[in-house]
Amino acid sequence: MTTEPVFDAAIPETAAPEVEFISLSHLNPSTELNPVPSRGIDLKYFRRYVRSLEEGGYDYTLLPYGSNSADSFVVASAVGQLTERLRPIVALRPNTTFPTVGAQKLATLDQLTEGRAVVHLISGGSDAEQARQGDYLPKEKRYARTSEYIDVLRRSWTEAAPFSHDGEFYKFDDFGPGFAPYAAPVPISIGGQSDEAFQVGGEKADIFSFWGEPLDDLRSEIERVNGIARAAGRTTLPRIWVTFRPIIAQTDQLAWEKAHEYVAKVAATFAAAGSAARRFVGNAPQNVGSQRALAFANRSELYDRALWTKTAAVTNAAGASTALVGSPETVAAAILDYVDRGASLVSIRGYDTLADAVDYGRYVLPLVRQEIAHRKATGRRGTLQAEHLGNYAPEYGQYATAGQP
Ligand SMILES: Cc1cc2nc3c(=O)[nH]c(=O)nc-3n(C[C@H](O)[C@H](O)[C@H](O)COP(=O)(O)O)c2cc1C
């Protein structure tokens, strides 16, 4: 159990006034709980998945990218045509696409979706994975390249006359005017937790993203990125995106039973994948985001109201892997704790992917939105966080450790 905080009705100064929801899109029914041996797209499933996100009230969906994944641009274009409102976030590694071509593809997606495109720039967290597609730059250089890439993207979208560029990584002549986005430049997000990621993200990104971390640690990281943004003379700070893998059930106790069952299955899947899984993660991840997640998992299994790190520990923190465990009310309250620290984009994706996307849309999103609406209407916090204490109350800790060896 952690010390119970005081839930003052005053809205914290650091709180984000709005929150929008993201969920990563899955292309087929294979999950970490129940792996189905297929690498392909199950079109019927994918259609259902993205429509469920839209119906569930999500705002964005991330189309991830890896050397063995489907192409995120092509999938994003399909999302655009299968939905009316959901905004596709294309994960893009600069090494895969020349920046003026990247700008052209993103502007095309933005036009095809009437202004819904977002790009998430991935500088690359593993040298071995980068080498699979011919990228041999060390990580700090990859981030320097991302920085130059952002400049070229924005100029390609906004310059009214042809321009030339002669930078450290890219050189071209007489490009433009490029194909323009629908109404405004496409928002640019940065993923990564290394010093270089902070530097580029703080100076240039519209959005800076994290995997779920303990509240105080996340707040210091937000201050760090904001400090860099201010030092760069920015008046608009990057929006903060934080990602979780919630495990919910009707009560906290039932959610914990599910969590223990899930972590055993996820661990078995990861172990069964053996060297295939390690091919993408390695024994010791090189990306700082995963290193941080593993360090938190080593320090404690449980943090704050509902953050659980065991799911990260059993998967070597490959990708977003920290959970929020509890009833919909407890998980919504935990999400609000992050909103209070400054997160305005919350990504949630479960282990039972499609069923969880539907459940969050039904039971979690409305609670968070109701609290935000209450705050707007009254200028005060509502009672959700004070009433659903999760780990700040004694019984939650007992459920969390029940069934443990
Ligand atoms: C929300 C989020 C989404 C991410 N999506 C991807 C992805 O689709 N593909 C990928 O290779 N890395 C992805 N990453 C990982 C990092 O961006 C990547 O490892 C980073 O470029 C280097 O890590 P570092 O700066 O933490 O060392 C994502 C990271 C975050 C925070």
Assess whether the previous peptide bond of 99 is cis (omega < 30° from 0).
Answer: no
3-state helix vs strand vs coil in the chain, percent to 5: 50, 15, 35
Q: Is residue 284 part of a domain?
A: no
- Supply 180's token pair: 């323009």
Nearest to 113 by CA among 172, 158, 63: 63
Q: Is 159 helix (H, G, I), strand (E, B) or coil?
A: coil
Contact 367, 48 (CB under 8 A): no
- Is the beta carbon of 391 within 6 A of some atom in ligand 1? no
- Is the beta carbon of 212 within 6 A of some atom in ligand 1? no
- Supply 70's token pair: 């489907």
| Per-residue pLDDT, 279 | 59
Best substitution site from 60, 120, 122 to test ligand 1's pocket, by max atoms within 8 Å of Cβ?
122
CA distance 263 to 166: 50
Q: Is residue 81 part of a domain?
A: yes
Looking at the DSSP bridge assignments, the partners of residue 325 are 247
**CATH number, residue 32:** 3.20.20.30
Task: Output the CA 122–ligand 1 centroid distance in Å.
Answer: 6
CA distance 198 to 202: 6
Looking at the DSSP bridge assignments, the partners of residue 88 are 61
Nearest CA to ligand 1 atom 2: 191
Q: Is residue 204 part of a domain?
A: yes
Q: State the CB neighbour count (10 A cutoff) for residue 185.
A: 18
CA distance 108 to 101: 10
SS3 for 297-343 is: HHHCCEECCCEECHHHHCCCCCCCCCEEEECHHHHHHHHHHHHHCCC
Contact 395, 252 (CB under 8 A): yes
Along the 405 residues of the chain, how does pLDDT read in single tens digits?
Answer: 455 666 789 999 999 999 999 999 999 999 999 999 876 999 999 999 999 999 999 999 999 999 999 999 999 999 999 999 999 999 999 999 999 999 999 999 999 999 999 999 999 999 999 999 999 999 999 999 999 999 999 999 999 999 999 999 999 999 999 999 999 999 999 989 999 999 999 999 999 999 999 999 999 999 999 999 999 999 999 999 999 999 999 999 999 999 999 999 999 999 888 766 665 555 689 999 999 999 999 999 999 999 999 999 999 998 899 999 999 999 999 999 999 999 999 999 999 999 999 999 999 999 999 999 999 999 999 999 999 999 999 899 889 887 565
- Is the beta carbon of 282 within 6 A of some atom in ligand 1? no
Which atom of ligand 1 approaches the CA of 190 most closely? 17
| Residue bearing tokens 């969920």 | 23
Task: Output the CA 384–ligand 1 centroid distance in Å.
Answer: 32
| Strand 239-244 to 323-326 pairing | unpaired
Torsions phi, psi for 6 (to 5 deg)? -90, 125
- Is the beta carbon of 176 within 6 A of some atom in ligand 1? no
Q: In what helix (H) or strand (E) does residue 36 lie, and over which residues does it extend?
A: none
| Per-residue pLDDT, 284 | 82
> Sheet containing 302-303: which strands, arranged edge to edge?
247-248, 323-326, 307-308, 302-303
Best substitution site from 121, 132, 209, 287 to test ligand 1's pocket, by max atoms within 8 Å of Cβ?
287
**Domain carrying residue 71:** 20-243+327-380
Specify the number of domains making up the chain.
1
pTM: 0.96
- Is the beta carbon of 107 within 6 A of some atom in ligand 1? no
**Cα-based torsion angle of the residue sequence 147, 152, 157, 161 in order, rounded to the nearest 10 degrees:** 150
Q: Is residue 111 part of a domain?
A: yes
- Is the beta carbon of 354 within 6 A of some atom in ligand 1? no
| Per-residue pLDDT, 278 | 61
- Is the beta carbon of 65 within 6 A of some atom in ligand 1? yes
Q: Is residue 274 part of a domain?
A: no
First to last CA, the chain: 19
Task: Output the CA 31–ligand 1 centroid distance in Å.
Answer: 20
Task: Output the CA 344–ligand 1 centroid distance in Å.
Answer: 19
Nearest to 191 by CA among 57, 259, 68, 93: 93
Which atom of ligand 1 approaches the CA of 197 most closely? 25
Nearest CA to ligand 1 atom 12: 122
Q: Is residue 166 part of a domain?
A: yes
| Per-residue pLDDT, 135 | 98
Q: Is residue 89 part of a domain?
A: yes
Task: Output the CA 301–ligand 1 centroid distance in Å.
Answer: 23
CA distance 395 to 405: 19
CA distance 36 to 40: 10
Q: Is residue 6 part of a domain?
A: no
Nearest CA to ligand 1 atom 28: 191
Task: Output the CA 165–ligand 1 centroid distance in Å.
Answer: 28
Nearest to 284 by CA among 316, 315, 319, 320: 316
Task: Output the CA 191–ligand 1 centroid distance in Å.
Answer: 5
Contact 62, 89 (CB under 8 A): yes
Nearest CA to ligand 1 atom 19: 125
- Is the beta carbon of 209 within 6 A of some atom in ligand 1? yes
